[in-house]
Structure 1
């Protein structure tokens, strides 16, 4: 068994026990070994995954929570991409900045009942921890796998032509970065999506709430580790723009792809 990593996103709220129980029951009713939770930045998906895993353990199940964020490429690998493809790839997050093969290998091992070391990414240090610090996870009856863009399909090439925010306009004027991310989304991630047995999508009221949610998240990370340097509000605002295109695509596409979509209000409370 493994408990939630202290390095995962810190949401400033918890979900009520009844909703957590409903999510666990949904996973068990459908025989999902890998139960995926998608939600935009700051939506509380890490918190929910940890709560569901804890409830599963309390009921005698072997459960673990993992995040797609822990499979980010380290700084060195992203810098190589920045030099060879586009400078924006130095920043973690968008499709093309994950080690997808490692994520697939990890899920395969855990599904097969083999022990595996699970990577951990330190967001304040902006790099993956060394393998010696990865927790070892044994056989699991239930894996909670969360991420902000799980199963999001790529956009049509024609939809990439116009920039949709100042970052794309000023730092990706020819569209090379967004084309690279879109191609990676369609080429590299489907094998990972195929390993997800069931998908819950936590749908926010809209993208407009994401910058504030992500700022709350950053403040929570800083409060938990006050000696470390976190992003400023302006830096968070720029950071969120890197995710906006795929986030809006997720908002558009995932309600028709996810097995279960739960609408959230602006305070992240599930709506009936």
Structure 2
């Protein structure tokens, strides 16, 4: 079986060859998108930026529920993407989830450089509710979007719980299971799948691809253009 990483690497190579500069990766919480991005940076000339890195710093982040619309510094994100498109490099903040007792906080900056930039996050490209309207100018800067689709919403909850448990085992701060469940439930309550995500593969507004995953996060087939 071809791994999700191998498929994602080939997709990035193909997109760079087609002249695309900034790509989006939309994947649910706990699906492994951050790990995939880390591997991409090690194996390819690809700069990866997590939407999580654009969370507001503490204490401003406390005014928002982390992960929901409003918790990101969109002006800074737009500037990072614009700088990368113009110069092939940009300075971006780093967000460490283990800080602030698992609530997370910014921790320094890093240089993004490469042939293309991959912006990954759970709501990248999403639309359909008023809270996402301020994000649309950011999504319009993308040259393409890849959707990783889980087998079910119940599996998303399990994946997120597994990710927090792994972070806890590694000695970092992590959210209790109760707060993780609240976070995921709130996520889909504020951003319903049929309203915010289904249109991405039913009526895409930019070049879009999809990859279906099974319950082990393994690919069901290949990346397909929509």
Q: 2: CA distance between counterparts of 1:149 and 1:118? A: 19
Q: 1: CA distance between counterparts of 2:156 and 2:196? A: 13
Q: Which moved more, 1:228-237 or 1:35-44?
A: 228-237
Q: 2: CA distance between counterparts of 1:17 and 1:75? A: 33
Counterpart residue number, 1:77: 60
Please tell me whether residue 223 in structure 1 is matched to residue 169 in structure 2. yes
Structure 2 portions without partners, runs of 5+: 222-226
Say which structure is richer in strand: 2
Please tell me whether residue 134 in structure 1 is matched to residue 109 in structure 2. yes
Q: 2: CA distance between counterparts of 1:92 and 1:21? A: 29
Counterpart residue number, 2:44: 56
Pair 17,75 (structure 1): closer, same or farther in 2 beyond 3 Å: closer
Q: 2: CA distance between counterparts of 1:223 and 1:24? A: 32
Counterpart residue number, 1:266: 215
| Alpha carbons 1:68, 1:146 under 8 Å: kept | yes
What SS does the aligned partner of 1:120 have?
Answer: strand
What is the TM-score with the length of structure 2 in the denominator?
0.84
| Alpha carbons 2:128, 2:196 under 8 Å: kept | no
Q: 1: CA distance between counterparts of 2:163 and 2:104? A: 18
Task: Pick the aligned partner of 2:144 from 198, 202, 210.
Answer: 198
1:92-143, Cα deviation, whole Å (9 max, x unpaired): 110111110100101111221165321111112234325xx21133x43111
Q: 2: CA distance between counterparts of 1:247 and 1:46? A: 23
What is the TM-score with the length of structure 1 in the denominator?
0.71
What SS does the aligned partner of 1:135 have?
Answer: strand
Q: Provide the aligned C-alpha RMSD in A.
A: 2.2
Structure 1 portions without partners, runs of 5+: 1-13, 58-62, 82-88, 156-182
Task: Pick the aligned partner of 1:40 from 21, 25, 28.
Answer: 28
Size of the aligned set, in residue pairs, is 212
Q: Which moved more, 1:43-52 or 1:232-241?
A: 43-52
Pair 48,199 (structure 1): closer, same or farther in 2 beyond 3 Å: same
Q: 2: CA distance between counterparts of 1:71 and 1:223? A: 25
Pair 18,99 (structure 1): closer, same or farther in 2 beyond 3 Å: closer
Note the C-alpha offset of 1:259. Answer: 0.9
What SS does the aligned partner of 1:103 have?
Answer: helix
Note the C-alpha offset of 1:17. Answer: 5.4
Structure ID, larger Rg? 1
Note the C-alpha offset of 1:236. Answer: 1.2
What SS does the aligned partner of 2:44 have?
Answer: helix
Please tell me whether residue 240 in structure 1 is matched to residue 184 in structure 2. yes
| Alpha carbons 1:215, 1:236 under 8 Å: kept | yes
| Alpha carbons 2:22, 2:116 under 8 Å: kept | yes
Pair 203,220 (structure 1): closer, same or farther in 2 beyond 3 Å: same
| Alpha carbons 2:16, 2:115 under 8 Å: kept | no
- Off by >4 Å, runs of 4+ in structure 1: none
| Alpha carbons 1:15, 1:48 under 8 Å: kept | no
